[in-house]
Amino acid sequence: MIVLSKTQQQKYNQIVEKLKFKKIRLTDIRNIVIKMLIISDHLTIQEIINNLESEINNINVMSVYNTIDLLLKEHIVFANTFNGKDISYEIAADKSVHLKCDECLKVIHLDDKNIKNYHFLELLDLCEKYNIKLTHFKIEGHGYCLKCSNKEINK
């Protein structure tokens, strides 16, 4: 059984309310997948399936894919491809920033509280210029972490 912290439970409740408002049925698999994505950043489909197998005896893999598709369509989750091939999923946020080391493939996820002092005003200006009402955004920065940078220097 997945146990959520108070903050995680609040996020879960918000998602459930959004789905109920749209009259979307909450199956056991949907509930567990949502909880998994709340407590873990960047899960692949295979990781979700593996985790589900420890929670539920008999799972329908297509139900997992359908659940992810639904959550993507409803903007509850984001899909990320950090290495160009594996897709990972995370709960959507108003602002999503990732920093990735292209050498060791480490991904640092910066959530709202870590980037709240950054205003991204240029992005808002662009949206205004092209008549887009911004609801959320994702930014991905690539480079080399200190450890990998030092390895390159010492070669």
Using N-to-C axis directions, what is the helix angle for 61-73 and 28-39, rounded to 10°?
Answer: 60
Helices (H), the chain: 6-21, 28-39, 45-55, 61-73, 112-115, 121-129, 146-153
Task: List 77's β-bridge partners, or say none.
Answer: 91
Is beta strand 87-91 parallel, antiparallel or unpaired with respect to 107-110? unpaired
Q: Would the annotation count 104 as a binding residue?
A: yes
The verdict on whether residue 127 carries a ligand-binding annotation is no
Rounded Cα distance between 96 and 113, Å, is: 11
CA distances 63 to 24, 70, 124, 128, Å, are 14, 10, 37, 39
Annotated binding site: 101, 104, 145, 148
Residues in the annotated binding site for Zn(2+): 101, 104, 145, 148
